[in-house]
Each structure stands twice: as C-alpha cells, then as structure tokens.
Amino acid sequence: MLKSIIFIFSLFFFPVIPLSHAGGLLSDDSVYQLPSHWRDQNNTTLELADLVGKIQVVAFIYTYCEHSCPVILSTLKRIDKKLSGEQKQQLNFLLISLDPDRDTPDILNAYMNKNNLAQTRWRLLHGNADDVLELAALFGVRYKPMDVNNDIAHSNMITVLDRQGVIDYQMQGISDDLSGSLAAINALTQQ
C-alpha cells in the first residue's frame, strides 16, 4: 500500500523518465510506465510495456463475480463483434483481476475457456495486490471487498488505450451504447 502511495505521489512531484521500448519512447501519460510485473492466464510473466504496439480495450473484473462483471464481459464481446477483420488485427482485449488472491493464472485460464475467449486476442492479468491497486488508480477504477463471500464493489469502466498505453477513451458505467468506444477504436485503427 505504501508503495502505491509513494508512486502516485511521485507522479505529481517528480518528472517521469520515458522508458525506451520497441525502439521508441513511451509518453509520460502511458500506463505502461508502471514498473510492475504481471502474470497472464498462461502463467507467462510480463510487464505492461510488453503490450506496446496494439490498441488495448481494458476492464477490471474478478472471475467469480455474478453481478456487473458478466455484463462488462458481454459488452466487450459486443464491441469485438462490431470490429472489422482489419481492426481485430490491431487490437487486443485485456482483463485485469481485482482479486489476486483467488484469481490465479489457472483460474483465469479456466475463465477464458468457459467464456470462449480467444487466447490470441484476449489476455487476463494477475498481479500482486499493490500493483492492482496502483494500476486501478491510474485508470480511475475504485474497488473494495464487500462481505464474507469476497464480493468486490468496483467501478464499471471500459477503457481504450492507444498503442503506447495512453488512455484514449473511457466508458463509465454499464451501458448499451457502444458508439463512444467504437469511435475511439475506429480513430485509433486509422492512425
């Protein structure tokens, strides 16, 4: 927790030195600047900067959620269905678990299989609690455990990141209107 507070404090009072990645520099606004390490559904370790190059559609969920997370996933699948083949080649979906204690890489992999998510275009991330908190704060996602069943109250948000990890668009709340997300994706895929 202290690590997260120090990092957020440093963002406001000290300049961020751009990281070199894939032959270029990351913007100061890039969430890929975070030095955290993550594991995906295949237990592969990665840094966020490894995601450079593709547009990412991001949401924070937990796999055993019975309330808003299934709606978020359904919305992401609806976005995916609206994309052209060319757009799909430029874009991935990224789900970040809000419960690193329960959502292990094996659980994330089972969740992917249960929901028919293509391993080539969908990635689910597991991180330690401090890294999840830090990343969620940068996205403006708030969350907290609610009861003995380990339910988690959290912001319902879908975020579109550009190829360098800069937030381009955020859809807040659960909505049937995909126009903002699709317009952001369309603009980014045309660049």
Q: Say whether pLDDT at 13 is over 80.
A: no
Lowest model confidence (mean pLDDT) among 27-36, 52-61, 151-160: 151-160
> Which token pair is 63?
């796999």
Residue 140, SS3 per DSSP: coil
Residue-range definition of the domain harbouring residue 25: 2-189
Q: What's the average model confidence in pLDDT over 115-131?
A: 95
CA atoms of 132 and 96, how far apart (whole Å): 8
Q: What's the average model confidence in pLDDT over 50-67?
A: 93
Q: Say whether pLDDT at 24 is over 80.
A: no
Q: Could you tell me the pTM of the whole model?
A: 0.83
Q: Say whether pLDDT at 79 is over 50.
A: yes
Q: What's the average model confidence in pLDDT over 177-190?
A: 94
CB atoms within 10 A of CB 55: 20
Read off the CATH number of the domain in which 60 is found.
3.40.30.10
Q: Say whether pLDDT at 21 is over 90.
A: no
- Alpha carbons within 13 angstroms on the beta-carbon side of residue 142 total 3
Q: Say whether pLDDT at 19 is over 80.
A: no
154: confidence class by pLDDT, cuts 50, 70, 90: confident
**Averaged pLDDT of the chain:** 86
148: confidence class by pLDDT, cuts 50, 70, 90: low
> pLDDT at position 120, please?
93
- Alpha carbons within 13 angstroms on the beta-carbon side of residue 130 total 12
How many domains does the chain fold into? 1
Lowest model confidence (mean pLDDT) among 56-70, 145-159, 176-190: 145-159
Residue type, 59: A
> pLDDT at position 91, please?
97
Phi and psi torsions of 46, nearest 5°: -150, 160
> pLDDT at position 8, please?
45
CB atoms within 10 A of CB 157: 19
